Amino acid sequence: MSTQRISIGCDHAGVAHKSAIISWLQEQGYEVINHGTDTLDSVDYPDYAHPVASDVESGHAEYGVLICGSANGVCMTANKHQGIRAALCWQPEIAALSRQHNDANIICLPARFADIDVCLNMVDTFLKTPFEGGRHQNRVQKISCA
């Protein structure tokens, strides 16, 4: 089995979370594409969300992880890309449902509202939870505007 590639990015609010998630992903054997930021200097979240969404949209990465203060900005940005289903998650159950029912391919994490351990649990849950298909497949197919 080939190693899954995960694309990750954040703004200045998510640097510590991103660092911990990257370390955890690498320990689990995932290949990580880090689009930054890696400093606490104020930056614009779309500059980091678009490259992650592009990686997932193009198939260069299987899944994406985006982090900002509330996760709203990165989620809105990623969802502008066709083929992206970015989900704002704040607890593991939401992460699981985003995969099971919505076939989400990017998880968006609120660094100011979920601590690092909760975020690690959400990423683990997200990556291990399969899409159920079935009655959800038709709904997911209706999401795209194209």
Q: Which member of 12, 17, 35, 68 is catalytic?
A: 68
Q: Has 60 been annotated as catalytic? A: no
Contact 107, 71 (CB under 8 A): no
* Cis preceding linkage at 3, omega within 30: no
Helix (H) or strand (E) holding 120: helix 116-128
> Concatenated DSSP letters for 8-42?
EEE-GGGHHHHHHHHHHHHHTT-EEEE----SSS-
Contact 113, 70 (CB under 8 A): yes
Q: Has 12 been annotated as catalytic? A: no
Point out the residues that are catalytic.
68, 101
